[in-house]
Structure 1
Amino acid sequence: MVNGTDDLAVRLSEVARALQQQHSAQDTLDEIVRAAVGTIPGAEHAGIIMVLGKREVSTVAMTDELPGKVDQVQYDTGQGPCLAALYLNKTVSVPDLGNESRWPAFAARAAAMDVGSMLSFQLFVENDDLGALNLYAPRPHSFDEDSLHVGLLFASHAAVALAEAQQRESLVQAMHTRDLIGQAKGILMERHKLTADQAFSVLVRVSQQSNTKLRDLAERLALTGELPVAPSGG
């Protein structure tokens, strides 16, 4: 538990530095749930659920097996606080799961897992991509106003850190794709005496004819020297 404004500021600074030091988006997700339990009062378990492009929801990080099991009950029943935080509200509190009437099918099964209270924060909404940080405690009324205050600040830091990690990962992937396409173009230019523009046109045409992503096609050519469709013309 974090006590006092100064202690909270110090702790959130430590969390921000730890998140920035992670090497991948998945590492950042794993650090978020670990740090949440050590920062937000009352939290004994934590997990993150995400949905990309309005597709299937999945649990992408958790401190232990409990969040995944509870989340699965929500996926099975189509109801629960984590889904509500994800799709409807920024913050959802469940003080006493044993007396929860909003999601009866979920609450009955989750309470049997020795979950007494929950607290969920929407992490981000970007286009059709959604994310939520979910906290779990074995006893009812484990989360108070301090939990809510600290949790909101923590979720804001976590969302920024995750966005930065995803941007770094996307940039690295984009640079790798550019290098692969450059290598593939070089092979075609040398082998078929093409210009750079002609070689790129060949890659695009073969990508369309073979229904293969340009990046995958370039990687295959760079690694094996082969194309699924023989190039023709310039």
Structure 2
Amino acid sequence: MSVKSLLLKGITALVGLVAVLFVAATPQHGVHVEKESWSFQGFFGKFDRPQLARGFQVYKEVCSACHSMDLLSYRNLQEIGFSEDAVKEIAASVTVMDGPNDDGDMFERPGKPSDPFKAPFANEQAARASNNGALPPDLSLIARSRAGAGFGAHEGADYIHGILTGYKEPPAGFHLNDGMNYNEGFVGHQIAMPNPLSEGAVSYADGTEASVEQMSQDIAVFLTWTGEPNYESRIRTGLKAMLFLVAFTLIAYAAKRKIWASIH
């Protein structure tokens, strides 16, 4: 391979890296998103199980009316503390289409733990027709997709929390298009989704006060988990790897000192 070819490839790679870093560092056009403190941050972070349960309740009672969760099955709820019987009850509370049966017909049945979360609409066209042409995104990976060039799962949670607490009255002189809502946390500050949360929108099973702030934090944590359910195990694996490398380095250094001690 010629020097010219190597130089060209090097320049191309450098330009690509600079472009990625520029996009990651570019402010989101005036978007205001508060940086929150989350229990899962840091090497020793972990998801708060009661908060995950509350977040699921917010999704089930509020968000699931418009947003699907295609990549999650009801049985996955056992990973955040729901018992097997509770999962069966949650799954059985919905009716799903199955089949064909022996006669070649489709039929309805109660949901099972192995079923994916039931989608609120039969298809994309039905979803758009019920939302003035806007397509509510699937929430399975919404937090992960907003995690900002991979710099941390907390950024996805910050984004969701910022959206849900960002509904305000538009400032004077701001042109709000028909059918849109003003939101400080959304790019362009215009979002089709009406404010989904209000004080006391749910009655938490554990008695926690259902303020907008509390609900937005709970659903943000739940959606962070759905986007990366192996997050905790990945963090623990990384910590173990770092400890191994530190121990290996110390052993290698001690061996080097011993081997070369008599050589001057």
TM-score by length of 2: 0.28
Greater helix percent: which structure?
Answer: 1
Q: TM-score, normalised by structure 1?
A: 0.31
| Structure with the higher fraction of residues in strand conformation | 1
Higher relative contact order (CA 8 A, sep 6+): 2
